[in-house]
């Protein structure tokens, strides 16, 4: 489990950098208009989201000689992914916005296509690491812990971008430093997962067609409902926290504390309960009434917390601190929500094999990626228009000048209440979802009998 968790740590620190900071890099370093960035990142993410099922089907359609179909893909893609992610954060000072957009599109598409193969394979291991459901749940739990740790590291970049930068370095220089550590370093660390054992295998010669693998998705209603939930969640106004905190500070003693520094500290502190909950995820889920119940509780808590935070506000330092403390209510269930979703998706691989006789780790995890990328594409597209509505001007950040009154009036409602719309919509598919424990146990028992007759 250790090697697997470390691999997810590396992969997610790279993804948090490339997927989470690229939008801000485009607007604030490359100085590309926010609407253009929203359209660009939204369009290329939609392309890659549609490409994910093809990548997953190709993974399912290929068997290596020893029956493995996942780990070899991780070995082939890790270093190229690291290099292309690093190139995303290089400013070549191209003379026109059109050329800068073209460069971003080409490099991002290269990175994203490679990432499709790696991510489907890496998370597919949650289904292939062991035939027993309990062991799969524990593997998912530790994988999510590793992913959480990796996702936290690029957050350290945010305080360095206050104003035009910190410690004498501008935003472009800080992005370059973090690209080396997070992208090149993360891609290398992802290879630690190669020390994991792929226990559930298929023999060479058992491959099916790509289209048959894609067609098998119609049996995976668990996955399709999760896809609908995630897409609906993203259909809401939103802005990244960087845009509201980047030019804020509060008096503290004889000086000031910048909001980005304070947000990083408070985010780490208030996130501890949710992070700690990951270590007890399976037991907490049992007490809550199952993995599905965890996801419903997370949505409801998110709605309540955002409304409370809106009324608390951030007009003073005590209110800013209280706003983050309220976030603990949401952080506890949210800390294990990814584990709950991925565990149910891993179980759905067994269900599809039970129904069709085919193992579909590749296509299943690829659609899980599609789920994330489609929702991310919609979110980025809407974020571009949200910033346009707010009349955000990156040149004012660079000049250390405040945004206009319209921005100041609407940034807080958009930031806190906008995502509530998506959370309400995302509840609908979760309430429809049905996969009772009795059916899950029946699937596991019958699959164990089949494997006993023809062990791999």
By CB atoms closer than 10 A (0-12, 13-18, 19+), residue 386 is buried
Do the domain assignments include residue 70? yes
Do the domain assignments include residue 202? no
Do the domain assignments include residue 405? yes
Q: pLDDT tens per residue, the chain (456 residues)? A: 678 888 888 888 888 888 778 888 898 889 998 889 888 887 887 777 777 777 777 777 776 666 677 888 888 888 999 999 999 999 999 989 999 999 999 999 899 888 888 887 887 777 766 565 566 677 777 777 777 777 777 776 666 665 555 677 788 888 888 888 888 988 888 888 877 776 665 655 555 566 676 777 788 888 889 889 988 999 999 998 888 887 788 988 888 888 888 888 888 788 888 888 888 888 888 888 888 999 999 999 999 999 999 999 999 999 999 999 998 888 888 888 888 888 888 888 888 888 887 777 777 877 777 777 778 778 878 988 999 999 988 888 777 788 889 999 999 999 999 999 999 999 999 999 988 888 888 888 888 787 676 544
CA dihedral (331, 140, 296, 323) in degrees, to 10, reads: 10
- Per-residue pLDDT at 439: 86
Do the domain assignments include residue 71? yes
> Measured in whole angstroms, how far is the alpha carbon of residue 445 from the centre of its chain?
33
What total number of domains does the chain contain? 1
- Per-residue pLDDT at 259: 87
Q: Which two tokens stand for residue 384?
A: 């571009």
Q: What is the 8-class DSSP label of residue 257?
A: E
Do the domain assignments include residue 206? no
Do the domain assignments include residue 205? no
Picking from 126, 98, 119, the residue whose alpha carbon sits closest to that of residue 48 is 119
> Measured in whole angstroms, how far is the alpha carbon of residue 17 from the centre of its chain?
11
368 — phi, psi (to 5°)?
-60, -40
- Per-residue pLDDT at 456: 46
**By residue range, what is the domain housing residue 123?**
2-193+218-453
Do the domain assignments include residue 211? no
Question: Which residues does 222 contact at the CB level (< 8 Å), separation at least 6?
Answer: 344, 345, 347, 348, 351, 433, 435
- The three-state DSSP-derived secondary structure of 340-364 is HHHHHHHHHHHHHHHHHCCCCHHHH
Picking from 296, 372, 292, the residue whose alpha carbon sits closest to that of residue 340 is 292
Q: Decide: helix, strand or coil at residue 256.
A: strand
Domain containing residue 102: CATH number: 1.20.1250.20
Are 323 and 309 within 8 A, CB to CB? yes
Do the domain assignments include residue 199? no
- Per-residue pLDDT at 92: 92
Question: Which residues does 145 contact at the CB level (< 8 Å), separation at least 6?
Answer: 5, 278, 279
Is this structure's pTM higher than 0.85? no
């Amino acid at each position: 489990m250790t090697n697997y968790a470390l691999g997810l740590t590396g992969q997610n620190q790279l993804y948090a950098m490339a997927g989470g900071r690229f939008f801000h890099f485009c607007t604030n370093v490359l100085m590309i208009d926010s609407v253009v960035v929203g359209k660009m990142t939204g369009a290329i993410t939609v392309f890659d989201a549609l490409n994910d099922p093809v990548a997953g089907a190709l993974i399912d359609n290929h068997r290596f000689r020893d029956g493995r179909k996942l780990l070899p893909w991780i070995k082939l893609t890790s270093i190229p992914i690291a290099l292309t992610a690093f190139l995303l954060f290089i400013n070549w000072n191209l003379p026109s916005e059109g050329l800068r957009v073209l460069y971003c599109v080409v490099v991002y598409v290269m990175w994203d296509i490679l990432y499709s193969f790696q991510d489907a394979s890496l998370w597919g291991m949650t289904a292939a690491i062991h035939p027993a459901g309990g062991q799969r749940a524990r593997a998912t739990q530790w994988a999510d812990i590793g992913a959480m740790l990796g996702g936290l590291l690029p957050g350290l970049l945010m305080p360095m971008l206050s104003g035009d930068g910190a410690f004498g370095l501008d935003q472009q220089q800080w992005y370059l430093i973090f690209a080396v550590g997070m992208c090149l370093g993360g891609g290398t660390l992802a290879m630690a997962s190669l020390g994991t054992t792929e226990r559930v295998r298929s023999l060479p010669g058992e491959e099916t067609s790509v289209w048959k693998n894609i067609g098998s998705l119609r049996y995976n209603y668990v996955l399709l409902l999760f896809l609908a939930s995630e897409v609906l969640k993203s259909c809401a106004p939103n802005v990244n926290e960087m845009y509201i905190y980047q030019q804020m500070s509060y008096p503290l003693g004889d000086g000031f504390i910048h909001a980005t520094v304070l947000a990083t500290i408070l985010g780490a502190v208030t996130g501890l309960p949710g992070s700690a909950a990951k270590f007890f995820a399976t037991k907490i889920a049992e007490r809550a009434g199952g993995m599905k119940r965890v996801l419903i509780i997370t949505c409801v808590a998110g709605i309540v917390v955002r409304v409370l935070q809106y009324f608390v506000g951030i007009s003073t330092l005590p209110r800013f601190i209280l706003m983050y403390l309220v976030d603990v209510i949401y952080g506890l269930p949210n800390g294990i929500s990814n584990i709950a979703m991925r565990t149910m998706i891993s179980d759905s691989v067994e269900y599809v094999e039970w129904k069709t006789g085919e193992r579909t780790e590749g296509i299943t995890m690829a659609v899980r990626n599609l789920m994330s990328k489609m929702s991310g594409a919609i979110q980025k597209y809407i974020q571009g228009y949200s910033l346009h509505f707010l009349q955000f001007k990156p040149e004012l950040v660079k000049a250390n000048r405040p945004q206009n009154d319209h921005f100041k009036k609407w940034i807080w409602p958009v930031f806190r209440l906008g995502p509530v719309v998506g959370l309400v919509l995302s509840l609908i598919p979760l309430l429809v979802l049905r996969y009772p424990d009795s059916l899950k146990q029946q699937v596991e028992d019958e699959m164990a009998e089949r494997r006993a007759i023809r062990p791999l």
